[in-house]
């Protein structure tokens, strides 16, 4: 009978400890759940912030590409104008050279005539 009493006492003590362990495990589970909720909320906030940053970066890229395109178009226009001016200068130089060649030939002709006339006298 004494053994049964000791066994009952041991079982009672085990039940008390088991109950304590259960309540501690339940408390830990609640804390873990609260932490998980905070982590989920934080992850949502991070995702939102990253999405905002991605959007801002995309806007900046779009503006930069737009500026680059505008500058390229402006530079192409200016290069085209320069090409036109250089082409016009080239044409003027060719015409000037032709005029110089023509006058040089005429001067040479006149020189020959003057020499002939001076030799005849």
Query: What tens digit of pLDDT does each residue of 59-96 get?
Result: 999 999 999 999 999 999 999 999 999 999 999 999 99
How would residue 12 be classed by pLDDT, with cut points 50, 70 and 90?
confident
Q: Which residues of 11-32 are buried (b: 16+ CB within 10 A; e: fewer)?
A: eeeeeeeeeeeeeeeeeeeeee
Domain total of the chain: 1
Q: What is the pLDDT of residue 117?
A: 87
d(CA 10, CA 27): 25
CA 120/CA 113 separation, integer angstroms:
11
Q: Which domain covers residue 59, as residue numbers? A: 1-121
For the cut 90, the answer to whether the pLDDT of residue 23 exceeds it is no
pLDDT digits (tens, 9 = 90+) for 33-47: 998 888 888 888 888
Give CA angle at 28 (24, 34), nearest 5°.
Answer: 145
Residue recorded with tokens 């804390």: 31
To the nearest 10°, report the CA torsion of 46, 50, 52, 54: -170
> In the prediction, which pLDDT does 106 show?
94
How are the residues of the chain apportioned to helix, strand and coil, as percentages rounded to the nearest 5?
A: 100, 0, 0
Confidence of residue 7 (pLDDT cuts 50, 70, 90): confident
The more confident residue out of 26 and 10 is 26
């Amino acid at each position: 009978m004494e053994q049964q009493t000791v066994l009952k006492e041991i079982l009672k003590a085990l039940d008390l400890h088991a109950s304590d362990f259960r309540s501690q495990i339940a408390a830990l589970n609640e804390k873990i759940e609260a932490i998980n909720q905070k982590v989920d909320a934080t992850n949502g906030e991070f995702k939102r912030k990253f999405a905002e940053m991605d959007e801002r970066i995309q806007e900046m890229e779009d503006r930069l590409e737009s500026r680059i395109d505008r500058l390229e178009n402006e530079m192409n226009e200016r290069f085209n104008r320069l090409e036109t001016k250089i082409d016009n200068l080239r044409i003027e130089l060719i015409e000037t050279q032709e005029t110089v060649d023509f006058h040089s030939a005429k001067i040479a002709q006149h020189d020959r005539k003057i020499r002939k006339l001076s030799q005849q006298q």
